[in-house]
Amino acid sequence: MSGAQLTREIGRSSVSASAVGLGTWAIGGWMWGGTDEAESIAAIHASLDAGVTLIDTAPAYGLGRSEEIVGKAIAGRRDKAVIATKCGLVWHTNKGNHFFDQDSKPVHRYLGRDSIIHEVEQSLRRLGTDHIDLYITHWQDATTPIEETVAALEELKRAGKIRAIGASNVNRSELTQYLKTGSLDAIQERFSMIDREIEADLLPLTVANRVSTLSYSSLALGLLSGTIGPDRVFSGDDQRKDNPRFSVVNRRKAKDFAETIRPVAERHGASIAQTVIAWTLKQPGVTFALCGARNPVQAMDNAQAGTLRLSDEDLAAIETAVSAKLANMDG
């Protein structure tokens, strides 16, 4: 791997960031078996040191815990980081629709102006910054018109509190409504070798409208990292423990897939995870790939994917392996 760290612009916002981004859901601890703050901060520092500027977080990741850790990690390094965080999953109000409970607190989907104005101040405080580079609606709220939500986000942009506007977990109809406002810079959606639905319904629209796409779960919660074998045991509240996607059969398939593409990885001196991430960034319409890391070793491994340049021959070999080894992995 000899390329420079790949960077791309977020929509038409003029905000640039590394194409490989650090996802911090696991750093928040919730649904990932807890967190180690020192290791998490070290992972963020390792990412920044390796040229990964995009750091993605959200209030819902541990009820503010992830944002707090990110804030501690970027203290004194704010100019090196492009911070994406979210709004719309709230526990300070019962407006909107109940979504889930976390630590015995009911969390609602709500994207009304009053809540967004409240949420951004809480996120700015936890992150220790005066602005958020990309502010994303986390899950959509059927009780609030998208026009009202976007108007609130535009208000925050005019005030200098956010620099770009994003939406996550949207369907085609919702995306169309966001696009009509003319203010959308990015969407954030689940996408990986085994989660490719957005190729048909969302990516054609984003490409046509110069809207960036951030893929989350780019490694399918680690299943495609090449490090989770059939003997792995998940404990505590780790969401993978009861996830059918992580059945022993599927983990065997993932292991077989990793061995099939290993020659491609070795040709570049890359790991399996790096190769999967680099493949993701070559998919039409996918602008950024968010990858979780809970320690510096994982962070450095992910970061190097931004310097990996796959050839057309590599991509063809990987697609063949995906078709042959990763079929029928529903979960």
Whole-number Å distance between alpha carbons of 193 and 233: 23
Local structure of 7: helix, strand or coil: strand
Alpha helices in the chain (DSSP H): 37-49, 65-74, 113-127, 146-158, 172-181, 198-201, 203-208, 248-267, 272-281, 296-304, 312-325
CA angle (214 as vertex; 145, 206 as ends), nearest 5:
60
Residue 172 DSSP symbol: H
* Residue 135 annotated as catalytic: no
Q: Say how far apart CA 54 and CA 180 lie, in whole Å.
A: 27
Q: Are 9 and 15 in contact (CB under 8 A)?
A: yes
| Catalytic option among 61, 110, 178, 216 | 61
Measuring CA to CA, how many Å separate 236 from each of 23, 32, 61, 219, 241? 21, 8, 16, 21, 8
> Which residue, 166, 224, 176, 164, is CA-closest to 196?
224
Following DSSP, what letter does each residue of 257-280 receive, concatenated? HHHHHHHHHHHTT--HHHHHHHHH
Report the catalytic residues: 61
